[in-house]
Each structure stands twice: as structure tokens, then as C-alpha cells.
């Protein structure tokens, strides 16, 4: 399914496919690593060395190619969800700097992240501020030569292994985005968490953590807009990762139904099994079109890009969950045995419906955008 015809992915991306296939063969082990921190360090370094993360060091934020991001996530997720999140976090943690950081900050953080020399993290979520980003309580107070940060972030990917954190904090009436080095005084990484599938994640706590003013992104009041613009840009890529997981589950399931025999015949010759395969393939194709359509619109800075990104993330992650579940079902009992590929995919696909905006939040964004369009249509009609 990885190479199913895709009219939104033109021949310029053939070289990318070759680069990613060669990388996967050389650097992604067949057996997933049990130590997510160690594996992430290794993936970030090898993605940098293979120049796969080089695309993140674009000349400016507008030049970042969303189609490349999506195709890279799709293929990496097909082979390893952990490798995909290693790639994704380098992007999520460096994009706000590319978008709103000084050229010095870009040189210090974006370049090294793109070369795999520094691990990036993006810290928004707090114990009392998940879907409601505007509820964040981490406080940045102006000091003579910078800011003093106090507060706690939770569920932060790469917590404890990242070299830098793009942190969103409250400052007076506004939100501030700033880059905090892992070595800064007053930053700690308590509460490492074990989630459903291997993933480096935990809390980031700030106790009188001093950050120089030069580490601030944007004008010091537009942190919320920076966070939203970053999530907007990367949302369709979560759909792309879901697509890669679904394609892998599909391929595993089809191969299994050709080998497994019951009632004297191959599973793939049974009508209900064939119907399931057809449903899975159709969901994957629909997800593919929504994801790449959103990427093309993002590249064109089309006003419809936000709506398209949420639609793509919502559908692709929900569809991937269904496809992976069907793949487990087609495997029978062997599909839930620890160590089987579809059992691993079943655990890996679940978080995608939660992070970077849950499915319910995507629905809220979709409805808001559609109703806004309708309102303007009504206004126009009334004018």
C-alpha cells in the first residue's frame, strides 16, 4: 500500500522514497528497541546523518515542505513508530524557532536539530491545561536580563533526553514562547512515564528557571499564536503517520490471509475476509487523499489549510485505528500475542487520536471553520 498511486505526490518525491527506503533498511531494526530513550537518541542521530531531518532547516517557515514532512512520516511510521516520532519531534520542537526566532536562535537550535546533533521538545501541556491550551499556568516573570520561569509541563515527548525545549508560558496578560536549554538552572525532569507503546515522555518542571531575553520567540506576546501555528502546520503529518501505521497493518493482514488456511481454504478466499480487506483498503485510500490534500494546501498557504489539516488528522487517525483493529481481527489469536507486528501497531496507533489535538478538538476546529464560512456567506448574501 505504501506505493499506491497518489496523484498528489508527484515524481519529484521519488528520490525521497528511495532515500527513506535505504534509511529504513540500514537504520531501523526489525525488532523494536525496548528502551525508547536510547532508541530515540539513535534515531535522531541517524536521521540527521542520512539528511532526512535536513528538510526541517528550511530557509524560512513558509519554505518548509509539508508534502515532504507527510511522506517522511508515512514511510518512517510504516517501519517504526518510534523512529517516526523521533523525526516528528525534531520538527515540532524546531518549527516555532524557524517561524519566530532570531537568526542566532535558528543557527543555535534549528540547524543542529536538522543535523541530528540536538534533540528537540515542544512543551505546552500542563496538568490542568490539555485541550484547553489557554489555561496554561506556567509563569514567566520579567527579570533584569531575561525571564524567570515557574511551573510544570506534563506528557512532554523527549522530556529528559531533549537538548532544548520550546516552552509556552503565561506572561502578564499574554503568552510567551521561549527556548530553554536542558542545562538551564532550575529545570528538572521528574516523573518519567511509561505509555501504551514505547515513547520517551514525562514532566518538565521549572523552579526559578532563568532564561535570557534572547531566547524569546516572536515579540514576547504572541506565544499562543506561535503554538497554534506550529500545531496547524504539523497536524496533517500526524495523519500521515497514522496512514503509515495503517498501511503496515494492511500489508501484514493481507499476507496473513494468504498463508492461513481454515475450513480447507485460505482466509483470503472467504467472502467476509475479502470484504474486510476491501474496507481497509478504502479507508486507507481516503486517508491518503485527505492527508496529501492538506499538505498541498499548507504549502500553498491556502486559507483552507487549517480546515483541511484538522479533517485529515481526524479521519486518518480514526481510520488507522479501525484498520489496525481489523488487521488484529484477521490475525485471530496470534494478533494479540506480544511480539506480533499487528499487536505492536494496535498499541502504537492509539495515542495519535489524542496528541496535537484530540479527535474531539479536531471536530471543534472543523465545525468552527465551516460555520465561520457559512456566517461570511450569510453576511455576503445579506450585503
Ligand X SMILES: Cc1cc2nc3c(=O)[nH]c(=O)nc-3n(C[C@H](O)[C@H](O)[C@H](O)COP(=O)(O)OP(=O)(O)OC[C@H]3O[C@@H](n4cnc5c(N)ncnc54)[C@H](O)[C@@H]3O)c2cc1C
Site size toward ligand X, by CB under 6 A: 19
119 binds ligand X (CB under 6 A): no
- Decide whether 106 or 354 has the Cβ nearer to ligand X: 354
354 binds ligand X (CB under 6 A): yes
Instruction: Return the residue matching grid coordinates 531531518.
Output: 53
CB of 349 to ligand X, least distance (A): 11
46 binds ligand X (CB under 6 A): no
Cell of 353: 487520536
Q: Which residue is nearest to ligand X (CB)?
A: 130
351 binds ligand X (CB under 6 A): yes
Among 113, 201, 277, 342, binds ligand X (CB under 6 A): 201
Instruction: Return the residue matching grid coordinates 541517524.
Output: 46
195 binds ligand X (CB under 6 A): yes
160 binds ligand X (CB under 6 A): no
Among 4, 102, 104, 131, binds ligand X (CB under 6 A): 131
CB of 24 to ligand X, least distance (A): 22
Among 125, 230, 237, 310, binds ligand X (CB under 6 A): 125
Single out the segment in contact with ligand X by CB under 6 A; choices: 23-31, 121-129, 300-308, 340-348: 121-129
156 binds ligand X (CB under 6 A): yes
Among 199, 233, 313, 344, binds ligand X (CB under 6 A): 199
Which listed residue (37, 356, 360, 377) is catalytic?
356
Q: Tell me the three-class secondary structure of the chain, residue by residue.
A: CCCCCCCCCCHHHHHHHHHHHHHHHHHCCCCCCCCHHHHHHHHHHHHHHCCCHHHHCCCCHHHCCHHHHHHHHHHHHHHCHHHHHHHHHHHHHHHHHHHHCCHHHHHHHHHHHHCCCCCEEEECCECCECCCHHHCCCEEEEECCEEEEEEEEEEEECCCCCCEEEEEEEECCEEEEEEEECCCCCEECCCCECCCCCCCEEEEEEEEEEEEHHHEECCCCEHHHHHHHHHHHHHHHHHHHHHHHHHHHHHHHHHHHHHCEECCEEHHHCHHHHHHHHHHHHHHHHHHHHHHHHHHHHHCCCCCHHHHHHHHHHHHHHHHHHHHHHHHHHHHHHHHCCCCHHHHHHHHHHHHHCCCCCHHHHHHHHHHHHHHHHHHHHHHHHC
CB of 238 to ligand X, least distance (A): 11
130 binds ligand X (CB under 6 A): yes
Single out the segment in contact with ligand X by CB under 6 A; choices: 7-15, 68-76, 151-159, 375-383: 151-159
229 binds ligand X (CB under 6 A): no
- Decide whether 181 or 288 has the Cβ nearer to ligand X: 181
Q: Is 356 a catalytic residue?
A: yes
298 binds ligand X (CB under 6 A): no
Using CB under 6 A as the criterion, which residues of the chain lie in contact with ligand X when the complex forms?
A: 122-125, 130-131, 155-157, 195, 199, 201, 351, 354-355, 358, 360-361, 364
Q: What residues are labeled active site?
A: 356
Amino acid at each position: 500500500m505504501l506505493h499506491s498511486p497518489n496523484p498528489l505526490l508527484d515524481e519529484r518525491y521519488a528520490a525521497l522514497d528511495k532515500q527513506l527506503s535505504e534509511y529504513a533498511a540500514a537504520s531501523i531494526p526489525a525488532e523494536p528497541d525496548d528502551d525508547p530513550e536510547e532508541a530515540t537518541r539513535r534515531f535522531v542521530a541517524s536521521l540527521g546523518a542520512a539528511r532526512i531531518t535536513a528538510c526541517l532547516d528550511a530557509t524560512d517557515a513558509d519554505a518548509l515542505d509539508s508534502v515532504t514532512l507527510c511522506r517522511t512520516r508515512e514511510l518512517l511510521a510504516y517501519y517504526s513508530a518510534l523512529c517516526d516520532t523521533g523525526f516528528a519531534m525534531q520538527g515540532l520542537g524546531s518549527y516555532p524557532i524557524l517561524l519566530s526566532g532570531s537568526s542566532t536562535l535558528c543557527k543555535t537550535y534549528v540547524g543542529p536539530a536538522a543535523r541530528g546533533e540536538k534533540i528537540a521538545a515542544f512543551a505546552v501541556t500542563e496538568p490542568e491545561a490539555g485541550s484547553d491550551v489557554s489555561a496554561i499556568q506556567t509563569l514567566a516573570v520579567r527579570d533584569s536580563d531575561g525571564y524567570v520561569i515557574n511551573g510544570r509541563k506534563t506528557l512532554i515527548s523527549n522530556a529528559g533526553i531533549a537538548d532544548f525545549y520550546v516552552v509556552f508560558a503565561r506572561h502578564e496578560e499574554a503568552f510567551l514562547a521561549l527556548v530553554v536549554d536542558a542545562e538551564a538552572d532550575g529545570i528538572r525532569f521528574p516523573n518519567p512515564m511509561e505509555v501504551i507503546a514505547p515513547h520517551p515522555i514525562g514532566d518538565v518542571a521549572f523552579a526559578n528557571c532563568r532564561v535570557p531575553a534572547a531566547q524569546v520567540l516572536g515579540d514576547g506576546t504572541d506565544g499562543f499564536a506561535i503554538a497554534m501555528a506550529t500545531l496547524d502546520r504539523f497536524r496533517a503529518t500526524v495523519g500521515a503517520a497514522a496512514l503509515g501505521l495503517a498501511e503496515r497493518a494492511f500489508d501484514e493482514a493481507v499476507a496473513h490471509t494468504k498463508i492461513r488456511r481454515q475450513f480447507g481454504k485460505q482466509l483470503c478466499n472467504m467472502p467476509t475476509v475479502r470484504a474486510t480487506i476491501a474496507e481497509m483498503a478504502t479507508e486507507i485510500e481516503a486517508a491518503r487523499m485527505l492527508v496529501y490534500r492538506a499538505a498541498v494546501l499548507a504549502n500553498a498557504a491556502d486559507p483552507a489549510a487549517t480546515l483541511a489539516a484538522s479533517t485529515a488528522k481526524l479521519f486518518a487517525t480514526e481510520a488507522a485505528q479501525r484498520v489496525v483493529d481489523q488487521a488484529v481481527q484477521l490475525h485471530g489469536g496470534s494478533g494479540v500475542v506480544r511480539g506480533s507486528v499487528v499487536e505492536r501497531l494496535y498499541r502504537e496507533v492509539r495515542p495519535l487520536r489524542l496528541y496535537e489535538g484530540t479527535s474531539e478538538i479536531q471536530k471543534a476546529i472543523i465545525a468552527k471553520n465551516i460555520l465561520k464560512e457559512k456566517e461570511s456567506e450569510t453576511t455576503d448574501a445579506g450585503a
